Amino acid sequence: MFGRHSDLPLAGDATSRFLPWLVALMVFMAAMAVAGAFVISGVIDRWDHDVSGTLTVQVLPAGGEQAEAATDERVHLAVEVMRKVPGVLMVKAFDKKRTLALLEPWLGGTDVVQDLPLPRLIDVTVDANVHIDLAEVAERLSRAVPGASLDDHRVWLSRLINLSRTIQWLAIVVVALIGAVTSATVVYGTRTGMAVHHGIIEVLHLIGAHDDYIARQFADRAFALGIAGGLMGLGMALPALTAIGWSARRLEGGFLPSLSLPLLGYVTIALLPLLAAGLAMLTARLTVHGTLSRMP
Amino acid sequence: MRHRPRGENIIRFDSVGLRYGLGPEVLQDVTFALPSGSFHFLTGPSGAGKSSLLRLMYLGLRPTRGRVVLFDRDIATTKRYELPALRRRIGVVFQDFRLLDHLTALDNVALPLRVRGVRESEIQKHVPELLAWVGLADHLGAKPSTLSGGQKQRVAIARAVIGRPDLLLADEPTGNVDDHIAMRLMYLFEELNKLGTTIVVATHNELLVQRFIHLPRVHIEHGMVTKVREAMEGG
């Protein structure tokens, strides 16, 4: 592909100056979108994995003089109810101290917070292979323990997954748009190049050159420019992704899951320059064939 | 070279008409045939339609009506992808040479071989030989912009004949050179003709035609072929 003979002086064309920069920008944006899609996919998987097989029981605080003791009693009752459910592997109640620790990133650790009537949480681990009638368990729980409710996270998770899937599709649409813009630019650049070199193309045509002989020269040039631009874009994207990852890891509170990019993500991003160059090459080739087909 | 038996028609025009866009017909009811191995002048005043007729012959245009048969192929029914193979059997010397300014003389002459996929070793062997034959052995690496009109013309002729064409079409090949070089070019064409190449030289230089009075001519005026004169006896 490289080093092949070319009869057309394409190196001096305007396309040679702007196409690499455009492809660089496109690859940079595509790398961001692809990285975002992979990270979100990983986050969904981890949430799904973490949440499946777990239930949370929420116990509202009791009122009155002995509120604390009454609440402890409700928690104890709820733990007992849940332990009797077939398929439950572990039941672990969070005491008030642990609940406060969970809320500390949002509410702080002042004494005022300690006086607030906070609901108590019970973490329940179930055997994922055993079917549990959650509606029946929730009913039994609310009858046995006033103010207790069961949450299997499904509603929360499904909404979150829907949001994440939407973002993933958005990333795919962004990559497709980037590809379309790159193609349109290559079409424009190729047609301009063909107009500039019309005289040479006509001579080649008249001495018996097949359309593909001419198209190959434009395609080779587009590929070379695409690779050069793509590598520039990759060179910009990798430090940016590293910086974003580093910033995400520094976030305090731990409410965000780990934003690491899987190996497949890195491989896909590394292939983007090749994909962009391939797209540019194919587009140039088809454009030249389309234009030459109008010659006799 | 795949030269045909002398005498068979290499090219035939039947009632051919040509117009550019919606303009008037620049060629009207052109009918003639050229036998293989012949050498014809295509004569007529400037603007008579010589170049348009040549463009039809080298498949740079398709007729708007009538029938063109080249190498026994009806051009109207020949598929587009089959045309390059026919074009490779035709050598063309354009009036304005149409050399590629960014390429050397050697690369310009090598073009017809490169489009055919001839090996580079063959190109480096044959092209310098031909350029030496047309007197440009010292100008292999010269760009067209550094060559004189006569030198450019010889490069153009070398490019037209490097592929050993069956049919050589030359549009005013002596228009930009002095008499001495014009005669040398004509003798060169005669040598090629003796080797079997059918040759058509378009010219409005009546003096040149008179010097080669033995050659037949196709005469065109106002877009119509007015006479096809056969070779003179004893020519």
pLDDT of B234 higher than 50: no
Q: Does residue B171 sit in the same domain as residue B65?
A: yes
Report the chain A residue with the minimal C-alpha distance to residue B87.
Answer: A208
Beta-carbon separation of B115 and A213 below 8 A: yes
User: What stretches of chain B show up as alpha helix (H) in DSSP?
Assistant: 50-57, 83-87, 105-115, 120-133, 149-161, 179-194, 206-211
Structure tokens at A212: 């593909």
The pLDDT tens digits for B112-170 are 999 999 999 999 999 999 999 888 889 999 999 999 888 888 899 999 999 989 999 99
When divided into structural domains, chain B yields a total of 2
Q: Does residue B84 sit in the same domain as residue B119?
A: no
Nearest to A7 among B61, B92, B114 (CB): B114
Q: Which residues of B touch A210 (CB under 8 A)?
A: 81, 84, 115
The pLDDT tens digits for B77-115 are 999 999 999 999 999 999 888 999 999 999 999 999 999
User: Within 13 Å of residue A218, how many CA atoms lie on the same side as its CB?
Assistant: 34
User: What pLDDT tens digit does each residue of chain A (296 aa) get?
Assistant: 545 677 888 887 877 888 999 999 999 999 999 898 888 888 777 776 666 678 888 888 877 767 778 888 888 899 988 888 888 888 888 887 788 787 777 777 667 777 777 888 898 888 877 777 878 888 888 888 888 888 877 777 778 778 888 888 888 898 899 899 989 999 999 999 999 999 999 999 999 999 999 999 999 999 999 999 999 999 999 999 888 888 877 765 555 556 678 888 899 999 999 999 999 999 999 999 999 998 88
Beta-carbon separation of B98 and A199 below 8 A: yes
- pLDDT recorded at residue A157: 75
* Distance between CA atoms of residues A10 and A4, nearest Å: 13
Instruction: Flag whether residue B92 sits within 8 Å of chain A, measured between CB atoms.
Output: yes
CA proximity to B43, closest of B55, B35, B33, B53: B53
Instruction: Flag whether residue A208 sits within 8 Å of chain B, measured between CB atoms.
Output: yes
Q: Does residue B39 sit in the same domain as residue B154?
A: no
Instruction: Flag whether residue B60 sits within 8 Å of chain A, measured between CB atoms.
Output: yes
How is chain A classified by DSSP, letter by letter?
-TT----S-GGGSHHHHHHHHHHHHHHHHHHHHHHHHHHHHHHHHHHHHHHTTEEEEEEPPP-STTHHHHHHHHHHHHHHHHHTSTTEEEEEE--HHHHHHHHHHHH-S-HHHHHS---EEEEEEE-TTS---HHHHHHHHHHHSTTEEEE-SHHHHHHHHHHHHHHHHHHHHHHHHHHHHHHHHHHHHHHHHHHHTHHHHHHHHHTT--HHHHHHHHHHHHHHHHHHHHHHHHHHHHHHHHHHHHHHHH-SSS-SPP-PPPHHHHHHHHHHHHHHHHHHHHHHHHHHHHHHTT--
Sign of the torsion angle spanned by Cα atoms A62, A68, A70, A76: positive
The Cα of B87 is separated from the nearest Cα of chain A by a number of Å equal to 5
Q: Is residue B94 part of a domain?
A: no
Q: Is residue B109 part of a domain?
A: yes
Angle between the N-to-C axes of helices A67-83 and A134-144, in degrees from 0 to 180, rounded to the nearest 10: 150
Domain-by-domain residue ranges, chain A? Answer: 10-48+160-292, 53-131
Beta-carbon separation of B84 and A206 below 8 A: no
Domain finish residue from B164, B186, B206: B164
Structure tokens at B136: 């440009």
Q: Is residue B131 part of a domain?
A: yes
Q: Does residue B144 sit in the same domain as residue B228?
A: no
B135 Rama sector, left if φ>0, alpha if ψ -120 to 50, beta otherwise: left
pLDDT of B232 higher than 60: no
Q: Is residue B105 part of a domain?
A: yes
Angle between the N-to-C axes of helices B120-133 and B105-115, in degrees from 0 to 180, rounded to the nearest 10: 130
Strand bridging mode B90-93 / B167-171: parallel
Beta-carbon separation of B60 and A296 below 8 A: yes
Interface contacts A/B by beta carbons within 8 Å: 51
Please say whether the beta carbons of A122 and A79 come within 8 A.
yes
| Distances in whole angstroms, Cα of residue A289 to Cα of each of A101, A294, B176 | 68, 9, 36
Q: Which residues of A touch B111 (CB under 8 A)?
A: 7, 203-204, 207
Q: Does residue B85 sit in the same domain as residue B181?
A: yes
Nearest to A200 among B59, B84, B100 (CB): B100
- pLDDT recorded at residue B235: 36
Beta-carbon separation of B115 and A208 below 8 A: yes
Q: Does residue B83 sit in the same domain as residue B199?
A: yes
Q: Does residue B85 sit in the same domain as residue B110?
A: no
A57 DSSP β-pair partners: A122, A150
Beta-carbon separation of A296 and B84 below 8 A: no
Q: Does residue B81 sit in the same domain as residue B190?
A: yes
Report the chain A residue with the minimal C-alpha distance to residue B119.
Answer: A5
The Cα of A229 is separated from the nearest Cα of chain B by a number of Å equal to 26
Nearby residues of A153 by Cβ (< 8 Å), 6 or more positions away: A51, A54, A55, A56
Domain finish residue from B113, B148, B164: B164
Residue tagged 């660089």 (tokens) = A24
Q: Which residues of B touch A203 (CB under 8 A)?
A: 98, 100, 111
Instruction: Flag whether residue A210 sits within 8 Å of chain B, measured between CB atoms.
Output: yes
Sheet of A88-93: strands edge to edge? A88-93, A120-126, A54-59, A148-151
Q: Is residue B112 part of a domain?
A: yes
% helix / strand / coil in chain B, to the nearest 5?
Answer: 35, 25, 40
* Distance between CA atoms of residues A170 and A161, nearest Å: 14
Nearest to A7 among B61, B92, B100 (CB): B100
* Distance between CA atoms of residues A27 and A37, nearest Å: 15
* Distance between CA atoms of residues B214 and B207, nearest Å: 13
Phi, psi of B169 (to 5 degrees): -115, 125
Distance of CA B36 to the CA centre of its chain: 14
Beta-carbon separation of A203 and B103 below 8 A: no
Q: Which residues of A touch B159 (CB under 8 A)?
A: 207
Instruction: Flag whether residue B84 sits within 8 Å of chain A, measured between CB atoms.
Output: yes
The model's pTM is 0.76
Beta-carbon separation of A5 and B59 below 8 A: no
Structure tokens at A267: 């491989």
The Cα of A287 is separated from the nearest Cα of chain B by a number of Å equal to 17
Q: Does residue B126 sit in the same domain as residue B136?
A: yes
Beta-carbon separation of B59 and A206 below 8 A: yes
Beta-carbon separation of B59 and A210 below 8 A: no
Structure tokens at B230: 């056969």
Q: Does residue B2 sit in the same domain as residue B81?
A: yes
Structure tokens at A51: 């949440």
| Single-letter residue type at B221 | E
> Containing domain of residue B211, as a range?
1-89+165-235
Q: Does residue B37 sit in the same domain as residue B105?
A: no
CA proximity to B48, closest of B231, B217, B229, B226: B226
Residue tagged 């036998």 (tokens) = B35
Which CATH class name applies to A53-131? Answer: alpha beta
| Single-letter residue type at A149 | S
- pLDDT recorded at residue A85: 87
Please say whether the beta carbons of B182 and B132 come within 8 A.
no
Helix count and strand count (H, E) for chain B:
7, 10
Nearby residues of A213 by Cβ (< 8 Å), 6 or more positions away: A204, B115
- pLDDT recorded at residue A210: 94
Q: Which residues of A touch B124 (CB under 8 A)?
A: none
Nearest to A296 among B59, B111, B115 (CB): B59
The Cα of A195 is separated from the nearest Cα of chain B by a number of Å equal to 15
Domain finish residue from B117, B134, B164: B164
DSSP state of B231: P
Beta-carbon separation of A207 and B112 below 8 A: yes
